[in-house]
Amino acid sequence: MIDSTIIEPASRNYLVIDRYIADFIPAQALWHALSNGLVDQLANQSTSTEQLAAQIGAEPESTELQLSLLASTGVVDSEENNIWHLTEHFTQALIFRDLLEAKLAFATLLAPDLLTGGKDFFSSLHRFMSSARTFDLFDYERSFEINEENLTATDRWVTLTAAYTRYEAVTLTDYLDLSDHRQLLDIGGNNGELALHLCHHLPKLQATVADLPVVCELGRQRVAATSKAAAIHFVDTDLRHEQPPGRYDLVILKSLLHDWPDEAIEHFIDRAWQALEPGGQLIIFERTKANHSISPPRYGDLPIFVFAQFYRDPNLYINRLQQFGFINIEQRKVNLDWPFTLITARKPALL
C-alpha cells in the first residue's frame, strides 16, 4: 500500500517573495528597481523622489511612476514629506533576493515566447518547443565540451535552476530523517546545490553529483569556496548512456524526470536501482500537475508554468518503482510555489 500525505513545509518563508511578482507591470518595476540600484539606494537610507532619480540616473517623472508601482505591491512606502523607504516586510523578503532575482530574470526571459507563441503553446507543445527561444537556453549539447563559451552559456540556466533548488532542498531535511545515510548519489545534481544543503545538515554524509561535464565544472567552482568542498565529489557522466559510478545508500532524482519522455523514466529509475546498495533509499522530488482552475498562475510562476505540460501524475513514478521491485514506497504531496511530490522508496535488503 502506498502511503500518501500532504505536508506544509515549515521552512518555506521564502515564498513571501511571490506577493511582489504576481502581476506583470509591478513585477517589471521591481525587476528594474533591483537592477538599476533603486532598491539598494533605499536600503541604505530614506530618500526623496528627486534625490533617488539623481542617484540612479533617471528622470524624476519616471522614478515617481516606478515608485508608485512598487508601492502598490508593498515594496516601498512614503512619509508625508514624500520621503521614500523600503517597507519592513520587503526588507525581510530581501533575505531571499537571489531567488527573487532568479524568478524575475527567468520570467523576463520566457515572457516573449508566451506572448508571440501563445497559439502554439495552447495548441501544440511540439510546435511551441520548436519555435520558442526558451528551449535554446537549456541546450544540453553545450554541456559536454568544457570551454569558456559553453561555461558561460550553461551557467545561465544552471544559476537560475540552482536558485530554486537552494530553497526547495529544505523540504528534504524538514520532513525526512536522512541521518543514517553516509553515501549520496545525486543524479542530474546540477551545480551541487542540493548536495551542499544535505551535507551541511548531515555532517557524516559524502555526496557524489553526477551530471554533464560543463555542469560539473560549474559545480566544482561553486562548491570549492564552501566548507563542504571535501564532502562533495563531481562525476562527469551522461547517465543516458553510461552506468552510475559506485554504490550508495541514498540516491536522489530531483527535478530531473520531467525533462524526459515517459520511456526515459524507467531508464533513470534503473540507473538509480543499479547505484543503490541493498536496503538503500531512493528519493524522487518533482513538480506535478497543478489545477489552474482553482489556482491560476501568476506572472512570477511563469518560469515553472511554461513547463506545465511536462509535469506528471505521481502515480506514473510510483508504478515504475513498483515494477522494479522497490518497497516501502511513500508519497508526500508538498505545496511550495507549485505542487510537488516527494516520493521515497527502498531497494530490498535481500534480493
What confidence tens digit (pLDDT) does each residue in 64-110 have? 999 999 999 999 999 877 899 999 999 999 999 999 999 999 999 99
Strands across the sheet containing 83-86: 47-48, 83-86, 76-78
User: Hey, what amino acid is at 131?
Assistant: S
- Helix 24-35 and helix 60-72: axis angle, to 10°? 120
More confident position, 215 or 260: 215
Phi-psi label, residue 187: left if phi above 0, alpha if psi -120 to 50, beta otherwise: beta
What confidence tens digit (pLDDT) does each residue in 15-49 have? 999 999 999 999 999 999 999 999 999 999 999 99
Mean pLDDT, all residues of the chain:
92
The shares of helix, strand and coil residues in the chain, as percent rounded to the nearest 5, are 55, 20, 30
Alpha helix locations (H) across the chain?
Answer: 24-35, 38-44, 49-56, 60-72, 88-93, 97-116, 118-121, 125-131, 134-137, 148-168, 170-175, 193-201, 213-224, 262-275, 302-305, 314-324
Q: Which residues pair with residue 284 across a beta bridge?
A: 253, 343
What confidence tens digit (pLDDT) does each residue in 248-291 have? 999 999 999 998 888 889 999 999 999 999 999 999 999 999 98
Q: How far apart are CA 129 and CA 135, in angstroms?
A: 7
**Local confidence band at 12 (pLDDT 50, 70, 90 cut-offs):** low
Question: What's the pTM value of the predicted model, to 2 decimals?
Answer: 0.91
Q: Does pLDDT of 8 surpass 80?
A: no
User: Hey, what amino acid is at 342?
Assistant: L
Instruction: End-to-end CA distance of the chain: give it in Å, rounded.
Output: 20
3-state secondary structure of 316: helix
Name the percent of the chain lying above pLDDT 90. 82
